[in-house]
Amino acid sequence: METDLYDEFGNYIGPELDSDEEDDLDRDARDADEQEDEDEEEEPVDQDEEHSGMEVVLHEDKKYYPTAEEVYGPEVETIVQEEDTQPLTEPIIKPVKTKKFLADLMDSPELIRNVTLCGHLHHGKTCFVDCLIEQTHPEIRKRDDQDLRYTDILFTEQERGVGIKSTPVTMVLPDSRDKSYLFNIMDTPGHVNFSDEVTSGIRISDGIVMLNTERLIKHAVQERLAVTICINKIDRLMVELKLPPTDAYYKLRHIVDEVNSLLRYPSYSAFHTLEPDSPGTPRIAPSTPWNPTAQVPLV
């Protein structure tokens, strides 16, 4: 038996062999040693594979979907936005049905009001219309570097920044009791050479807003229209004149008193006078989002 040829330590103790037989034995011994080494190297790999299935992988390290580069290719630029850029006022799914509330109000003459905005040059008539447009049309916004000037439709008006023609604007506005009315607002030019545009707008109106000159007040009284004075650009009292609240209040009251002095003429006795703290005397600051009302005291 081959086991009798080796001692307990693996040394050869059998008869002497030829050189060829010794080479074969050495080769067999080397092959056996190499096979044992390969078996030893494969065992740790098998252990790692067994342990890999038992490892705990964190949620953020798991890969559920292919990357954008794998889907679209390395030459395609992909952008990932973490915040939604769509405004809240715009619905994700736009309704198919178009709202016809404004068009339906046109069929109700009792809910229609025709108003003319008139005043002197650069008194803020167009700015006042822009404030109403921004409140009723959220999709229309002015640029940072220039005013909206929604009613300046002529190229000459946009170039010079002065109104030349009367421009009508229709919008739905609520009253103090949240009752909606259809307002046809006529934005008239303020330059004295275009007073005929103002006169034509007064003839088709139910009332006038922002009267600041004697001539326009007389036109309104002759047409027997209700007078509502709108004191505009009151932010200039604080920004430019640096007036304290008390002086600003008396300045506004002085403006109302001047208008009342014209309405107190004997021929105008049928008209009521204006009160500075009444809802009929709005105060507007178009250059800022602050629009004080009559319910907010000035002092």
pLDDT digits (tens, 9 = 90+) for 88-141: 888 888 777 666 777 788 888 899 999 988 888 887 788 888 888 888 887 787
Q: Where are the domains of the chain?
A: 100-232, 233-269
In the chain, which stretches have pLDDT less than 50?
43-46, 279-280, 284, 286-290, 292-299
Q: What is the distance between the alpha carbons of residues 65 and 68, in angstroms, rounded to a whole number?
A: 9
Q: Which two tokens stand for residue 258?
A: 């001047």
DSSP 3-state assignment of 182?
A: strand
Q: Which two tokens stand for residue 4?
A: 């009798």
Q: What is the distance between the alpha carbons of residues 73 and 77, in angstroms, rounded to a whole number?
A: 9
For the whole model, what pTM was predicted? Answer: 0.48
Domain boundaries 100-232, corresponding CATH code: 3.40.50.300
Q: Quick one: which of 84, 81, 57, 58 has its CA closest to 68?
A: 81
Q: What is the distance between the alpha carbons of residues 162 and 176, in angstroms, rounded to a whole number?
A: 33
- For the chain, what is the total number of helices (H) and then of strands (E)? 9, 7
User: Residue 180: beta bridge partners?
Assistant: 174
pLDDT digits (tens, 9 = 90+) for 17-35: 665 555 565 666 667 666 6
Q: What is the distance between the alpha carbons of residues 120 and 233, in angstroms, rounded to a whole number?
A: 13
